[in-house]
Amino acid sequence: MPELIINGPAGRIEARYHHEATSGSPIALVLHPHPQFGGTMNNQVVYALYYMFAERGFSVLRFNFRGVGRSQGYFDNGPGELADAASALDWLQLQNPDSRFCWIAGVSFGTYIAMQLLMRRPEIDGFLCVAPPANLYDFTFLAPCPASGLMVNGDKDRVVPSASIAELAAKTKVQKGVKIEHAVVPDANHFFQDKIEDLTKVVGAYVDRRMVELEKERRE
């Protein structure tokens, strides 16, 4: 997988990209966990999400936020990382101008950035939030949430209690026709140690089902 450098607001952004050659293929952007706690685009959950999308015919991009790996800049606690994600999505869309569907996925801190980007980009059709830090960050900006998606966590997560994610999923206001679902992976911790396969099955099944629904909605 060749290294990719994207021009970002703080300089170069280090990324990895899988291109699906089929015309009209969907696209997906995957955002990694907190940079100051070891989060990178090579995180095992990010890696699993990346390949889950690729196996389903998506063109998919993952990248390092500013200050991580070979990406330039310094950690900005949110605003800068959001700008990085917007630039990465711009690049992904330029490579796939005929794409019919757009998804975004995040892991832990990456979900906080992903959902902010979702609120700013109406072309995003679906999302995956893995271990969203509902007890650590304020997600009330999702008012209302414009797209359907899945929030998923492990029931042994000691960083983010499952109850806080269930509450976030239940309380988030949504636009008409939008549904936020919540799934729990048994015996999984915040990092889904030894449970990556179980997580991939859950999110993969959700993406499969939602893509059928999105195709149907588009035809109607």
Q: Where are the domains of the chain?
A: 3-219
Fold that domain 3-219 belongs to in CATH: Rossmann fold (3.40.50)
Q: What pLDDT, on a 0 to 100 scale, did the predictor assign at position 109?
A: 98
Which residues, at least 6 apart from 87, have a Cβ–Cβ distance to it below 8 Å?
Answer: 6, 7, 8, 9, 13
- Dist CA 29 CA 66 (whole Å): 16
**Per-residue model confidence as pLDDT tens digits over 159-171:** 999 999 999 999 9
Report in angstroms the alpha-carbon separations of 41 from 18, 31, 70, 98, 210.
Answer: 14, 7, 11, 26, 25
Q: For residue 20, give the amino acid letter.
A: E
Global pTM? 0.98
> For each of the chain's 220 residues, which pLDDT tens digit applies?
568 999 999 999 999 999 999 999 999 999 999 999 999 999 999 999 999 999 999 999 999 999 999 999 999 999 999 999 999 999 999 999 999 999 999 999 999 999 999 999 999 999 999 999 999 999 999 999 999 999 999 999 999 999 999 999 999 999 999 999 999 999 999 999 999 999 999 999 999 999 999 999 988 8
Main-chain dihedrals φ then ψ at residue 4, nearest 5 degrees: -125, 135
**Cα torsion angle, 45, 46, 49, 55, sign:** negative
Which residues, at least 6 apart from 78, have a Cβ–Cβ distance to it below 8 Å?
Answer: 112, 113, 116
Which residues, at least 6 apart from 218, have a Cβ–Cβ distance to it below 8 Å?
Answer: 100
199 SS3 class = helix
108 SS3 class = coil
Secondary structure letter of residue 130 according to DSSP:
E
Main-chain dihedrals φ then ψ at residue 61, nearest 5 degrees: -125, 135
Q: Where are the alpha helices (DSSP H) in 66-152?
A: 79-95, 109-120
Main-chain dihedrals φ then ψ at residue 163, nearest 5 degrees: -60, -35
- Residue 90's Cβ-count burial label (10 Å; 0-12, 13-18, 19+) is middle
- Dist CA 39 CA 33 (whole Å): 4
Q: What pLDDT, on a 0 to 100 scale, did the predictor assign at position 1?
A: 59
H or E stretch at 183: strand 180-185
